[in-house]
Structure 1
Amino acid sequence: MPTRPGCGENCAATEHRPGTSVDGPATDRRRRPSSGVDVPDEHSPCAGSLPRVPAKLEGKVATAPPRPSRTQPVAVSELATTVDAHLTAPDRAHVQVGGVTLRAQHVRPGDLFAALPGTRVHGADFAAQAVANGAVAVLTDAAGAEKVHDVPVLVHPDPRGVLGRLASRVYGDPSAKLAVWGVTGTSGKTTTSYMIDSALRAAGRATGLIGTVETRVAGDRLDSALTTPEAPDLQALLAVMVECGTTDVAMEVSSHALRLGRVGGVGFAVGAFTNLSQDHLDFHPDMEDYFRTKAELFDGRARTEVVCVDGEWGPRLVTDHTVTVATTKPAHWTATDVTVSATGEQTFTAHGPDGVTLDVALRLPGDFNIANALLAVACLHSQGVPLDAVREGLRDVQVPGRMQRVDEGQDFTAVVDYSHKPAAVALALDAVRARATGRVITVLGCGGDRDTAKRPLMGEEAARRSDVLVVTDDNPRGEDPALIRAAMLHGALAVPDDERGEIVEIGDRRRAIEHAVSLARTGDVVVVAGKGHETGQEIAGVVHPFSDVDALTDAIRGATR
């Protein structure tokens, strides 16, 4: 199984993104070790009568993920039974477990430490540190059990696969006390989750949000290091939300989360599928494996399944009980009477079962956002959310870094978008082309240490749809950025001359954005694609502060002085 460069203890594979860090905010990260300082219980979100994330956590990834202020300890023997694990010390079956972590430096007294096998090291190598920090039990495999001493060990052949269920038991099965709305797919997870969250809030629900851009608890925000947190962190987070009085949680479910068991033990009220296109083929051997992993959300985990069937993959998920959504073919939910304003705002009419209709207005441009909104409508209607609240929530929703306009009074349109895969690049550029009266000028890079096959494809899609394409860097990580750009240029230059515009290579991302802005004239559209909401640029293992929104804003201000 692939591993993230620099990954150590218990790390098999992640979709960790720059601009966020498990050790703290990107601006503080300089290869430093974790401080090992936990957030004390009295500072837990919603502790006492204060239903909020503490100020020290707002806008950050906490050194140790938040936990509920209270748990009911569970006997280690009961946990062994829950996950069908062998308990090595039956005479210590009474030992009580009050928390779970897979990071030795985050262990609190009374915790169970999950020592998972990795591709480079075994988590059990850190068991002694975990025990010294107060761990009272360890979950691991047979190889790991040989390295653990002094505490009872739960031995299971697939400890990662059962970790979610175990953590759920320790934290009181929090998802059973919430309505969890899970959204999976290649593109649209974030936008659809935000749409669901916005409509639920309009309906008066107390919501939580877990995803690529942020984690939100009781209206307060934490940056997200992973699209879907690791299993014990997710269960603790859901328990915090229960403690805060949350009723509903909109959550992105990545393929990494499904393959690595992060959503084990989570019961979903709704599971939704957006679409599937090439991505993460550094993690999945092929598209079929990628699809099968996504399909795991629809193997009985969700009480209601809602699937967009516009593409080739969605129809394969459909059963007699599936609610279907489509913008291009018959389905339970369809869209008609689509209108698009000069500024990209859209309206359409959603048609559902039994003659249900809803007039929808969106600030977000692009045909793909019609599909996202229709999927959200179908999910919300399936759970009885009032249509007036759905209409209001969709009208007001805005998503950071998703077709986000930057307006400094300039006479051209400027957009930042997270599109970082071939199909998403094509959709975003098609959306802006549809309303551009001038040229489309695109700034695009490709990430390092990730799916290499998509690089020429992204270059090709952007070249076909841009009058000017500026190829630049985007989180080269441990790779030579020039080689990444060369792969993109290979795809871009393969497009016949009469089917593409000008192609420019500028490695420095800030300079690339400034160049694109310097070219813009009245009616043009400048699209800066790839990073979206991110606030860091990872180069050679160091994350440097960088925001496409800020860089584009600065470039426009500088050009219009």
Structure 2
Amino acid sequence: MGKTCTDLFAGIDCTVIGNADEEVGGIAYRSDRVQPGDAFFCIVGLTADGHSFAQDAIDRGAKVLVVERKVYLADATDVTEVVVADTRKAMAAASANFYDHPSKDFSLVGITGTNGKTTTTYLVEHIAHVAGKRTGVIGTVGVRIGGAAEKTAHTTPESPDLQQLLARMRDERCDVVAMEVSSHALDLERTWGTTFAVTAFSNLTQDHLDYHHTFEAYFEAKARLFSKDYPAKRVICIDDKWGKELLRRCSTNEDSIVTTGFDTSAQIHPVDVRYAPTHTTVELDVRGSRYRFDYPLVGRFNVENVMCAFGIGLQLGFSPSVIVEALEEAPQIPGRLERVSVSCDGGVSVFVDYAHTPDALEKALASIMALTRGRTICVFGCGGDRDASKRSIMGKAALAADFAVVTSDNPRHEDPLAIIDDIVGGMGAGQGRFAVEPDRRAAIALALAHAKPDDSVLIAGKGHEDYQLVGDEVLSFDDRVVAAEELNRAFGGLLDDADAAVTLADPYGQASGEN
């Protein structure tokens, strides 16, 4: 499949210097991945300028350079240059052109917000599946196309990768695709040129301020998905001021909107909620009609996710009865309040959750405390090379537990002990109620050593991840597997490897066993 420059840049404001009929065989944004015949987009990044790699791209066979300023190279005489104002935005639009705008061929749901995106995408996928649709999912946990899973590098892939993925989903005849849309993706134009059927907002709490710097800038990045740049039906949780502001803007634009939330003015809101250790019973008011049902997820924040998914289902045209039927058998989401089950746990309940923001940690702890007869113990840390301002706030949030163990998360290129010091700086009021153990396995073992029957342990921060990032190393580490091993070590006596296996959640009912 190829496109001429004229076709590739249709609808894009640009100046073509050279052969407008030059055929492009692919799109590249890294010079080391250029294939002969590609168009190379010189992206001006946060740490490097792609214009500096133009010669390398030509040496590898690039026939078209897309630039923000003309590049003068001795070897570029037979290379077509396309000058644009913004290479990122042009790359996204050209990628959509290259793959013939695949998002127009199915219903694409874009979900944004700080917390709840992953769970909501999987709930939407399940609703669509029960409705008889072929589905796809794109997000933090990875990609699924019609039930086949694969990993991705970003929550929302770079625009050429995203459009290629959407094209695969089109070719696999997907009807509904649910995608997490990150603030980075919106700010970096990864989704530009993509057509959404529905966009949804969950909430906004502190995260990524190392990148966005202010809450306002963080919000405005998310809000782009609800602007005229991305026309669609909307689902908006109005429980915080940011959701209410989105509602105001979308109402001004006369968008089709379904509001959700505990706020009784929301079109979908709970009338009654009863929490249990294995499920939740909820009665929802949905535009004046009442629906009472059980679903196998726990915690208040999952009520928010269920309401959001319900609203998306309505905007996709599914009947309330089909939505309720699907939610009653909702899948366990990988690493989202996922319970670790072993044959002998000493009466201690262990949950693994991806909570890596102060708000998410508070909500996860509150949910577990509401289900726990005894004490709640928390194991957590903070990632390196990320928003350092939230570390002390995370430390303070963890004090909601009866006891906390501060440990290493994904330190990346930072000193783990320095990260821990930042966290402990917010825990001054909790002297005697927390311990520090930098080794994550040892920290999990320490938490279990403190636990007694009827206690619960929350291992927070990494969720579904099966690795730990230390410097340039990617170490094998899965909180769920390690917790199962330590549970067996603490309460199960001498067991063989087969007895120590843990069943990991698969949202599609296909369990995988790991030691």
Query: Bigger CA drift: 119-128 or 285-294?
Result: 119-128
Letter in 2 for 1:298: F
Aligned to 2:313: 380
State which of 300, 304, 310 in structure 1 corresponds to 2:239.
310
Distance 1:184 1:156 in 2: 29
Letter in 2 for 1:407: S
Distance 1:136 1:539 in 2: 39
1:360 to 1:99, Cα distance in 2 relative to 1, 3 A: farther
State which of 270, 273, 277 in structure 2 corresponds to 1:338.
273
State which of 277, 280, 304 in structure 2 corresponds to 1:371.
304
Do the aligned partners of 1:537 and 1:543 also contact (CA within 8 Å) in 2?
yes
Which residues of structure 1 form unaligned runs of 5+? Answer: 1-70
The answer as to 2:65 corresponding to 1:138 is yes
Which residues of structure 2 form unaligned runs of 5+? Answer: 494-515
Q: Provide, for residues 376-402 of structure 1, a one-character-per-residue CA deviation record: whole Å limited to 9, x for no partner.
A: 101111221133332233222221000
Letter in 2 for 1:539: V
Do the aligned partners of 1:124 and 1:145 also contact (CA within 8 Å) in 2?
no
Q: What secondary structure does 2:404 align onto?
A: strand
Aligned to 1:253: 181
Distance 2:420 2:65 in 1: 45
Counterparts of residues 124-523 of structure 1 (less than 5 Å): 124-142=51-69, 144=71, 149=76, 150-300=78-228, 301-318=230-247, 319-320=250-251, 321=255, 322-341=257-276, 343-353=277-287, 355-394=288-327, 395-408=329-342, 409-410=344-345, 411-463=347-399, 465-493=400-428, 495=429, 502-523=433-454
Letter in 2 for 1:243: D
Counterparts of residues 64-79 of structure 1 (less than 5 Å): 71=1, 73-79=2-8
Do the aligned partners of 2:70 and 2:81 also contact (CA within 8 Å) in 1?
no
Letter in 1 for 2:69: A
Q: 1:146: Cα distance to partner?
A: 6.0
Q: Provide, for residues 435-468 of structure 1, a one-character-per-residue CA deviation record: whole Å limited to 9, x for no partner.
A: 11111111010011110110000000101x1111
State which of 34, 37, 61 in structure 2 corresponds to 1:107.
34
Q: 1:548: Cα distance to partner?
A: 0.7
State which of 456, 459, 475 in structure 2 corresponds to 1:544.
475
Distance 1:545 1:278 in 2: 29
Q: Provide, for residues 272-308 of structure 1, a one-character-per-residue CA deviation record: whole Å limited to 9, x for no partner.
A: 0000000001101100000011000000314201100
Q: 1:88: Cα distance to partner?
A: 1.3
Distance 2:20 2:490 in 1: 69
Do the aligned partners of 2:55 and 2:73 also contact (CA within 8 Å) in 1?
no
Q: 1:132: Cα distance to partner?
A: 3.8
1:336 to 1:147, Cα distance in 2 relative to 1, 3 A: farther
Q: 1:136: Cα distance to partner?
A: 2.4
Q: What secondary structure does 2:271 align onto?
A: strand
Q: 1:140: Cα distance to partner?
A: 1.9
Distance 2:70 2:406 in 1: 47
Letter in 1 for 2:388: T
Identity fraction in percent: 37
Do the aligned partners of 1:99 and 1:110 also contact (CA within 8 Å) in 2?
yes
Q: Provide, for residues 32-60 of structure 1, a one-character-per-residue CA deviation record: whole Å limited to 9, x for no partner.
A: xxxxxxxxxxxxxxxxxxxxxxxxxxxxx
Do the aligned partners of 1:124 and 1:148 also contact (CA within 8 Å) in 2?
no
Do the aligned partners of 1:446 and 1:476 also contact (CA within 8 Å) in 2?
yes
Letter in 2 for 1:347: T
Query: Bigger CA drift: 145-154 or 518-527?
Result: 145-154
C-alpha RMSD over aligned residues: 1.7
Distance 2:48 2:217 in 1: 26
Q: 1:148: Cα distance to partner?
A: 7.6
Aligned to 2:498: none
Distance 1:148 1:376 in 2: 54
Distance 2:75 2:86 in 1: 17
Letter in 2 for 1:349: E
1:220 to 1:366, Cα distance in 2 relative to 1, 3 A: same
Aligned to 1:48: none
1:496 to 1:401, Cα distance in 2 relative to 1, 3 A: closer
Q: 1:407: Cα distance to partner?
A: 1.3
Distance 2:268 2:410 in 1: 39
1:215 to 1:82, Cα distance in 2 relative to 1, 3 A: same
Do the aligned partners of 1:123 and 1:144 also contact (CA within 8 Å) in 2?
no
Distance 1:473 1:329 in 2: 41
Aligned to 2:21: 94
Distance 2:421 2:72 in 1: 47
Q: What secondary structure does 1:407 align onto?
A: coil
Do the aligned partners of 1:183 and 1:273 also contact (CA within 8 Å) in 2?
yes
The answer as to 2:14 corresponding to 1:85 is yes
Q: What secondary structure does 1:82 align onto?
A: coil
Letter in 2 for 1:399: I
Q: Provide, for residues 476-509 of structure 1, a one-character-per-residue CA deviation record: whole Å limited to 9, x for no partner.
A: 111111111011111012x266xxx621000000
1:195 to 1:158, Cα distance in 2 relative to 1, 3 A: same
TM-score normalised by length of structure 1: 0.83
Do the aligned partners of 1:101 and 1:233 also contact (CA within 8 Å) in 2?
no
Distance 1:356 1:76 in 2: 54
Query: Bigger CA drift: 501-510 or 380-389?
Result: 380-389
Q: What secondary structure does 2:332 align onto?
A: coil
Letter in 2 for 1:116: I
Distance 2:471 2:33 in 1: 27
TM-score normalised by length of structure 2: 0.90
Distance 1:451 1:545 in 2: 24
Query: Bigger CA drift: 252-261 or 211-220?
Result: 211-220
Letter in 1 for 2:141: V
Letter in 2 for 1:83: I
Distance 1:473 1:550 in 2: 17
